[in-house]
Amino acid sequence: MSFHGPFRQVPQFQHGPERASARPPHTQHVDWHARYPNEVILRGPSDRRAVALTFDDGPDNVWTPLILSVLAKYSVKATFTCVGQMVQGNPAILQQIFQAGHNIENHSWSHPDFTKVSATEAKSQIERTNLLISQILHVKPRFFRPPYGAINDQVIAEVVSLGMKILYWDVDSLDWSGLTKEQVVANVLAHTEPGSIILMHSAGGRGGLADTVQALPSIIETFRREGYLLTTLADLLREPAYQ
């Protein structure tokens, strides 16, 4: 695949893309899951060699279609956690994701740190995104992935009040941070176990996501050689994707 030539304008988040300073330490993920084992999903069951690829921050009109193309080539189903502002700008691509058999989940309206907004704003961010997705696809997401993985007890209570669960991850590719293809592959393969939920991105990134797109074939091919099934979040968890 070629990544040369001009790209179309991609909408920017109101609160900015991924940044390391906004992310809590990885160990906090485990702590929240331990405190709220039914509400905060860190990983799936380990009774089979299955994993879920999840892609944050889209859909955009540059990287998301390229990622969809790779997934289609390998007949892999994945999960896309979507930002409302991006859905608003790219409804046809959201439909393309859904029609290809991938799960669609909620990643807020404008990608703020939910520990720094009011309970009212947090609820509005989630509900506004759910409403737009449901208007386009006629399904309502059941899982919410908090931007930067930033949550607190108040955020968890708001999510649960909406009949949803919080989606974390146990494998972070760090693909948004400007890593090389080889580094992205190594981050994923070195930490994945049966039941893992793998965090990647379908929009944003420092300088784009060419290395994410280029890393995907190696990741998929290696998993398959090792007998792993790459599947949707709903299939991994054996739970409905939608409310």
Which residues lie across from 40 on neighbouring strands? Answer: 166
> Which residue's entry shows tokens 């979507």?
82
How many C-beta neighbours within 10 Å does residue 188 have? 26
Active site residues: 56, 201
Q: Helices (H), strands (E): how many in the chain?
A: 9, 9
* Whole-number Å distance between alpha carbons of 172 and 174: 5
At residue 208's C-alpha, the angle toward residues 73 and 219, to 5°, is 40
123 by Cβ neighbours in 10 Å (0-12 / 13-18 / 19+) ranks as middle
